[in-house]
Structure 1
């Protein structure tokens, strides 16, 4: 399934045309990202699925959903976890060799990562970790395949409940703006391209 087909299944009739400077993103994150993710960002922009799965995108104002800020938060959470529980096994977060790069999360605090072991970002697979757990569940395919399985409610990760929504699951667009409350307000560098 292509990103365009995924967008159509999730209820988008056209690309939302969210654009970022991918060289800036590479500098912020420290690596190139998968081509299908870049296409996803263009088509979908900020938002999520079923008021449950949130996909982080670069350049938004809201630190909770900004890709580089989400990676920084995961690193800080790992440091705090290690201080509280010295026996806790640390997650190998990017930029560690083969480290995990978080790209999304659920409202139940589950986190989704790319396994960056492969040199080619287009070969990265998905890892899911349930909130508050050291367990990991591997999805032996990439970003688009994972989202396809999620949208059609066929993803096989025991911590993801079956949806009570209609299938395919609709995309819920957001603006990426910081609305106060949780998180921090960032200087945005992404934007929607209008004619």
Structure 2
């Protein structure tokens, strides 16, 4: 089951047609991104699943859900922790370190999901997660589309993801990616919908 099928299961009648300059995105990050994630961005655009899981997308105005901004926040958080505690040892490497984790989503509970960037082919990256509370990291053997499918159908076996109390499949709640005010940073948007997004 690919991204279009998951989108329909999550309540979208067709692609929302969110376009972004992928050369710009990948040049600023310093890596290519998985093809299924790029397809996800076109189909879904900005939004959340059940007001719980937020998949970051590039090029939106809201720095709270923008892909590059999420990575920058992770680096900033590590720098702060290292300043406070000189003995701080990160639990995993952060991209662009070799095999570093690249954040792509977060939950309202403070959990963060990452691609484990091992190997040169982004389409073979697996998914891992850091819980908002505690230190027990989670690992998912598949890639982005596999993770998305299992999340939407509430069959995912990743302890940091809470079991849903909502209807399954879990619905996608679209938004525009507009800045919503503090504390998120307001960015200069460079992504856009081809036409008015469908709900």
* TM-score class, shorter: over 0.9
Residue aligning to 2:111: 110
CA distance in structure 2 between the aligned counterparts of 1:163 and 1:133, rounded to whole angstroms = 20
TM-score by length of 2: 0.94
Structure-to-structure mapping, 1:31-46, within 5 angstroms: 31-46=31-46
TM-score by length of 1: 0.96
CA distance in structure 1 between the aligned counterparts of 2:141 and 2:37, rounded to whole angstroms = 16
Residue aligning to 1:169: 170
Q: CA deviation at 1:125?
A: 0.3
Residue aligning to 1:48: 48
Relative to 1, partners in 2 of residues 1:84 and 1:133: Cα closer, same or farther, differing over 3 Å?
Answer: farther
The answer to whether the Cα contact below 8 Å between 1:89 and 1:134 also exists between their aligned partners in 2 is no
Q: CA deviation at 1:155?
A: 1.0
Residue aligning to 1:26: 26
The answer to whether the Cα contact below 8 Å between 1:60 and 1:176 also exists between their aligned partners in 2 is yes
1:65 pairs with 2:78 = no
CA distance in structure 1 between the aligned counterparts of 2:117 and 2:16, rounded to whole angstroms = 28
Residue aligning to 1:192: 193
Q: CA deviation at 1:11?
A: 0.3
CA distance in structure 2 between the aligned counterparts of 1:149 and 1:170, rounded to whole angstroms = 13
Q: Which moved more, 1:122-131 or 1:132-141?
A: 132-141
The answer to whether the Cα contact below 8 Å between 1:60 and 1:188 also exists between their aligned partners in 2 is yes
CA distance in structure 1 between the aligned counterparts of 2:143 and 2:134, rounded to whole angstroms = 23
CA distance in structure 1 between the aligned counterparts of 2:119 and 2:160, rounded to whole angstroms = 26
CA distance in structure 2 between the aligned counterparts of 1:95 and 1:132, rounded to whole angstroms = 25
Structure 1: gaps spanning 5 or more residues: none
The answer to whether the Cα contact below 8 Å between 2:138 and 2:160 also exists between their aligned partners in 1 is no
Residue aligning to 1:142: 143
Structure-to-structure mapping, 1:80-99, within 5 angstroms: 80-90=80-90, 91-99=92-100
CA distance in structure 1 between the aligned counterparts of 2:20 and 2:89, rounded to whole angstroms = 35
Number of residue pairs the alignment of both structures matches: 195
SS of equivalent residue, structure 2 residue 132: coil
Q: CA deviation at 1:132?
A: 4.0
SS of equivalent residue, structure 1 residue 97: coil
Q: CA deviation at 1:78?
A: 1.2
